[in-house]
Structures are given as structure tokens and as C-alpha cells.
Amino acid sequence: MRQQAEGPTLGAGHTLGTEEVAVYRWLALHRRFDPARMAAELELREAQVTDAVDRLCELGLLQRGTGGDGSLRAVDPHLAAAVASAPVERAIREQEISLRALRDQFAQLSSHYEEGLRGAPATLETIPALSEVRAALDRAAEMCREEMITVQPGGTRAPEVLKDALARDSDILGRGVRIRTLYHHTARFNSPSQAYVALASALGAEYRTAHQLCGRMIVFDRSLAFLPDHRGTWGAVAIREPSVVHFLCELFEQAWTEAQPFSDAATDGLEAVAKDLDRTILRLLATGRKDETIARRLGMSLRTTRKHIADIMQMLGAESRFQAGFAVAARGLLRDDEPEGDDVDTREST
């Protein structure tokens, strides 16, 4: 057997195997080393017993006799653990010291950064990377004290994203901060979104939906706004200029007033939801909007949007958008005072 030349070693994530546990128990009970008997009683090969003893000695759980007689004795596991874990604990302490030093050094620079922001002619900050955007949003959320308003276009959000959002929003709501969020109507067809809204609403958050939204944005305490980078990257722009932030808040308030309380589509009735969607598409078609623009405004995929447009044109008996526009005008489908019966037939929205 190998002789223990150094102190006990403890590898990261190491756990004792069944053979090692069995060998330690046998030696703790019998207080003598008998490889042949141990192998027979533990149903192991002698080589397995020898390997287990070597490893237990390396971990300090067994100690060899000093007289050269091959005797072994079991060591108190608490004592062995204290000795074996000492290098790991020392390494952790050293890492913690390095981490604190790094944070302290970076913190010393924050005052210079904030001074630069105050002296900048335009309080705009471009944040290019997604990881930096998330860090900036987390920091703004931690500092938020009164209100957070958000516009989240699109009909679906990934469950893992909603899980992270719920944890963040729960913490914010727990501090008494008011949260209001606008979604597209299509979010009401998404089960993860329905579940998320139900849970967050129970905590005090408020949600409404609309067919058209101005775009994604998040505003904290009416003093800091985040907008997506216009180049289509995962970056963002942080805005602190009071007049711009005020304008964005007013834009949100207007959309919030015209939006409807969030509810799943089945509760409202698929027919009513589809009819409202048809009228919105008709309005956008009447203004000459392209399919891509309509899809973005409604938070739907381009394929689904084109299917809705094709169904509407078929219902109107139109072969072109010009003919569709003429039919809409002739039938008065967009007149606010027109009876519901003259509206376009409805279909189940997707």
C-alpha cells in the first residue's frame, strides 16, 4: 500500500464511495486490519479493500500504526474533515479578499463616472452588450422606489424569462413600488404569459393589453428610461434627460388609458378578440402600412399577419388592396357608429 506522504487532500466535489464507507465502518468496529477477512465479510476483492484503505488514509480518516505492524485505526470524521477542508477554506478566504478588493477598486471609479454623466451635454448612454443591459436593468430595479412602467411588445415570452421577471418583480413589489405593464393582445393566447400575469397581479402588479404598441421600453421612477438599440442588436439606450423621459411616460399613459385589462382570450371570447383584431388590421391597411409593419405593430409573426390579411380580403371579395380599401369604404366598416353586424366576419385568432 502507498504510504501517506502529505496531509489529507480533499478534491472538489469528492464523495466517499460505498467501498470506502464499508471499509471505514469495518475498521471502526473491529479496530484492526485484516484484509482477507474484510474482503470476505464485505464481499469485496482484497485489491478493492486496499484501494479503499489508501484513499481513507489520504483523507485522514484512517491512521497507520507507527510500529510498522500494519495496524490501522479509525480517526474521528469531524477532526479529519476539519484538517482536509482547511486548504479549501483558505482558498475561499483568499478569493473573497480578492473579490472585495476588486469591487472596492471599481467602486472608487463610480463617482468619476457619475460626474461625467452629470456633465455630459446629453444624458444618453448606449449599452451595447446584452449582459451589460441586464446588469443595468437589475441595478435600476434595485434602486427603484416608486414606480416602474414597461411596454413589452410581442405575443409570447419564454418561460425562463418570465420566471426571472417574476422573481425581480416580486422583490420590487415587496418594496411598495407600483408596476404597470402593457402587452399586445396576442399575449392573452400565451399560457406562460397568462400564468405569469396571474401570479404577479396577485402581488399587486397591473397589466393591460392593446392591439398596437409604440415599442419596447422600461421606465424607472419617471427618471430613467431604457429603449432598445435601433440597430436591432441586443443593446439598449439608457435615457436620463427629463424632457425625453417625461414624453415617454406621457406616451405610456395614453396607451394605458386606451388599453384593456389583461385577461385570457377564452374569457373575453375568441369571437370578440378576433373582431377587434380584424378592425385594427383594416385600419392599418387603410393607411397603407406594409405587412411587416402591421406584424410588428400587432406583436404577431409575419406569417400569421399575412394569413389574417388574406382572410379579410377573401371575405371582402377583393383581389387587391385597392379593391379591399374600396370595399371597406363602401361598406363603412371603419365607421365608429356602424352596427356590429356590418363588421367583417370573425375568425379564431392565432
Which of the listed ranges 9-18, 166-175, 282-291 does the model predict with the highest average pLDDT? 166-175
Q: In whole angstroms, what is the distance from residue 5 CA to residue 17 CA?
A: 23
b/e 287-324 (16+ beta carbons within 10 angstroms → b): eeeeeeebbbbbbbeeeebeebbebbbeebebeeeeeb
Q: What is the pLDDT of residue 339?
A: 39
Q: What is the pLDDT of residue 272?
A: 55
Taking residues 118-125, report their average pLDDT: 67
Taking residues 324-330, report their average pLDDT: 66
What is the chain's mean pLDDT, rounded? 79
CB 218 within 8 A of CB 179: no
Helices (H), 120-158: 130-143
- pTM of the model as a whole: 0.52
Query: At a CB cut-off of 8 Å and minimum separation 6, what does 293 contact?
Result: 284
Taking residues 242-264, report their average pLDDT: 90
Residue 111 has pLDDT above 60, yes or no: yes
Q: What is the pLDDT of residue 230?
A: 79
Residue, of 348 and 15, whose pLDDT is higher: 15
Helices (H), 120-190: 130-143, 159-174
Q: What is the pLDDT of residue 248?
A: 95
Confidence of residue 60 (pLDDT cuts 50, 70, 90): confident
Percent of the chain residues past pLDDT 90, beyond the cut? 23
Out of 31-35, 186-190, 284-288, 289-293, least confident range? 284-288
Confidence of residue 222 (pLDDT cuts 50, 70, 90): very high
Q: What is the pLDDT of residue 335?
A: 58
